């Protein structure tokens, strides 16, 4: 793919970065990303990736916009309340970029993730529940796709980069769903916390798509979004991980 004059000007401020250059920009324009969840994390992630020139975005969510979403889900307005999040987010992305968009008004699950993940260059998980996160991670392991996963609760943020090898994976971190799974509707959240995590998700995703070595695969990044202190934890691969065991039995 050769960059035309319009693309060179549009993406000039990132092309001049040694880590990007023309080759990195070409990789972004040729990439296909599946984004699970179009809420607080999904909105800024989708807009950020499209702004950087990601070629194709597949948006997946079955939820509708509520008034209580608007303080942190930055692609939506009060006029959008009641509409499907994926539909409105797709329109917002299209208005700001030339990114090709597929929107899937379904909940991501083991029933549809195989088809979605198999064609992706990268999968990003901004969902808000453990069952979806487990299913997404499992599908990425099965199809050997890299995954960037983010979560926010209260003033705490969490990011995980899972390599295409799937070792370690999300189930190496959480073998089973915790008894208490915090959610924004019960724990609360400020928009700055969401944007902080989403910004890191965009950064890691762009680096991954360009094949950069800086992506911290196999590490969990935990942040205190009041103090601004982050800590990185290298995850061990669980020898009894259910995901790897089931994949190996099927192959």
Residue 182 has pLDDT above 70, yes or no: no
Q: Which has more pLDDT, 187 or 171?
A: 171
Could you list the beta-strand ranges (E) of 14-121.
Answer: 32-36, 56-60, 100-104
- pLDDT value for 171: 86
| Residue 9 is assigned to a structural domain of this protein | no
Q: Please check the confidence at residue 203 and state whether its pLDDT lies above 70.
A: yes
pLDDT at 215 over 70: yes
10 falls within a domain: no
Model pLDDT for residues 137-181, shown as the tens digit of each residue: 999 999 999 999 999 999 999 999 999 998 898 888 887 776 666
* CATH code assigned at 116: 3.40.50.720
Report whether 81 contacts 103 (CB < 8 A): no
Q: Within a domain: residue 224? A: yes
Q: What percent of the chain has pLDDT over 90?
A: 82
* Inside any domain, residue 1: no
3-state secondary structure of 147: strand
Residue 20: pLDDT above 60? yes
- Band of the pLDDT at 251, cuts 50, 70, 90? very low
Q: Residues 169, 184, 241, 243: which is the catalytic one?
A: 184
* Residue 3 located in a structural domain: no
Model-level pTM? 0.93
With respect to residue 43, please indicate whether it lies within any of the assigned structural domains: yes
Q: What is the mean pLDDT of residues 76-89?
A: 98
Q: Identify the domain containing residue 83 by its residue range.
A: 15-250
Mean pLDDT of 102-115: 94
Query: 95-106 pLDDT, tens per residue?
Result: 999 999 999 999
| Count of domains observed in the chain | 1
Decide if 184 is catalytic.
yes
């Amino acid at each position: 793919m050769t960059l035309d004059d319009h693309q060179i000007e549009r993406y000039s401020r990132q092309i001049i970065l040694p880590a990007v250059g023309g080759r990195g920009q070409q990789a972004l324009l040729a990439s296909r990303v599946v984004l699970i969840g179009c809420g607080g994390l999904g909105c800024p992630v989708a807009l950020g990736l499209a702004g950087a020139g990601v070629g194709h975005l597949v948006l997946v969510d079955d939820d509708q916009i509520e008034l209580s979403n608007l303080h942190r889900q930055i692609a939506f307005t009060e006029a959008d309340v009641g509409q499907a999040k994926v539909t409105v987010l797709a329109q917002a992305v299209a208005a700001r970029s030339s990114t090709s968009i597929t929107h899937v008004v379904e909940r991501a699950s083991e029933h549809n993730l195989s088809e979605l993940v198999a064609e992706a260059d990268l999968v990003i998980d901004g969902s808000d529940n453990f069952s979806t996160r487990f299913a997404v991670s499992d599908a990425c392991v099965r199809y050997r796709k890299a995954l960037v996963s983010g979560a926010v609760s209260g003033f705490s943020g969490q990011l995980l980069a899972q390599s295409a090898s799937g070792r370690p994976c999300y189930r190496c971190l959480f073998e089973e769903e915790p008894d208490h799974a915090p959610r924004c509707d019960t724990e609360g959240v400020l928009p700055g916390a969401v944007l902080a995590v989403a910004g890191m998700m965009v950064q890691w995703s762009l680096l991954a798509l360009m094949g950069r070595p800086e992506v911290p695969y196999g590490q969990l990044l935990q942040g205190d979004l009041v103090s601004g202190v982050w800590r990185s934890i290298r995850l061990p691969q669980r020898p009894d991980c259910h995901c790897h065991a089931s994949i190996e039995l099927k192959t």
